[in-house]
Amino acid sequence: MDFPTDLIQLLIKATRVSVLTGAGVSQESGLRTFRDSQSGLWAQYKPQDLASPAAFARDPKLIWDWYAWRREAIKGVRPNAGHYALAEMEKKISEFTLITQNVDGLHRMAGSNNLLELHGNILRVRCSVCGTFTEDWGDDSESVPLCGKCNGLLRPDVVWFGESLPRAELEAAVTASRACQVFFSIGTSGVVQPAAALAHAARNNGAVVVEINAEPTPLTPKVDFAFHGKSGEILPELVKAIWG
Ligand code: APR
């Protein structure tokens, strides 16, 4: 892929770069994105209908099982070339912040360190009542495991629709978006707030905004550069074009 020279020159000199990623970045690792069509076991449910406190209150076992199924799927999955390219970028740019909506842990596995997990991490489990984290919840397939401390129902440490994002992560993400010279929006449909607003915060503060996505999104008309294709292919090519 040919990248515009002005973008390459800008990235060679850039010292502050922020990146927002979404489910599309993990698609080439074999994980489904959120808004694609589902098949198989969970085909009758929309993820949006399962990822909410109301759904958990209505049928905790259904929600626990859906996350257990996703957790198992993630265990066999490895980062792809896009994740590794972003970890490489972090080494080259002095202030590099990777903000992700993904809960799959693949950025960290690929070596990214300055990482803000805005929507939590599916591999962590906490009590829905007292908030205590646990790494040991047994494997009783009959019922939702309970908190060892208060007997509350355990739940995944992810942010559900209608819940607040972790405050420290969100504040750091807003700060990094406002302060950066270049902002990337990669593999996200850009329809879920407040993450979707970060690109606009960057743009309003003078950053050059770059989108990498399989297809156009509502953000596309607002960006300075848009590249349509797979992030696992475009990102390594971009890193090569900048740093050889
Ligand atoms: N490379 C780049 N982009 C891709 C690829 C790929 N290989 N495959 C798919 N995409 C794009 C799709 O075109 C789509 O725009 O990734 C985007 C995925 O969008 P969503 O499924 O909406 O995922 P995301 O934006 O991360 O969703 C945000 O919504 O359900 C909630 O909490 C959940 O974090 C999630 C949030």
Using one digit for the tens of pLDDT, what is the confidence trace for 98-143? 999 999 999 999 999 999 999 999 999 999 999 999 988 876 678 9
Concatenating the DSSP letter of every residue in 96-156 gives EEEEE---S-HHHHHT--SEEETTEEEEEEEETTT--EES-----TTS--B-TTT-PBEEE
> Could you tell me the distance, in angstroms and rounded to a whole number, from the CA of residue 242 to the centre of ligand 1?
26
For the Cβ of 28 lying below 6 angstroms from any atom of ligand 1, the answer is: yes
- Listing from the earlier edge strand, what are the strands of the sheet with 154-158? 133-134, 120-127, 154-158
> For residues 97 and 92, what is the distance between their CA atoms, to the nearest angstrom?
12
What are the residue ranges of helices labelled H in 180-230?
A: 197-204
For the Cβ of 34 lying below 6 angstroms from any atom of ligand 1, the answer is: yes
For the Cβ of 35 lying below 6 angstroms from any atom of ligand 1, the answer is: yes
Q: What is the pLDDT along the chain (244 residues), one digit of tens a residue?
A: 899 999 999 999 999 999 999 999 999 999 888 777 665 666 777 777 889 999 999 999 999 999 998 898 898 899 999 999 999 999 999 999 999 999 999 999 999 999 999 999 999 999 999 999 998 887 667 899 999 999 999 999 999 988 999 999 999 999 999 999 999 999 999 998 999 999 999 999 999 999 999 999 999 999 999 999 999 999 999 999 999 8
Instruction: Choose one of 25, 28, 29, 35 to mutate for the ligand 1 pocket test, by most ligand atoms within 8 angstroms of C-beta.
Output: 35
CA nearest ligand 1 atom 5, residue: 24
Burial pattern 17-56, b for ≥16 Cβ within 10 A else e, equals: bbbbbbbbbbbbbebbbbeeeeeeebeeeebeebbeeebb
For the Cβ of 26 lying below 6 angstroms from any atom of ligand 1, the answer is: no
- Report the atom number in ligand 1 closest to the C-alpha of 23: 26
- Report the atom number in ligand 1 closest to the C-alpha of 21: 26
For the Cβ of 24 lying below 6 angstroms from any atom of ligand 1, the answer is: yes
Q: Which residues are catalytic?
A: 119
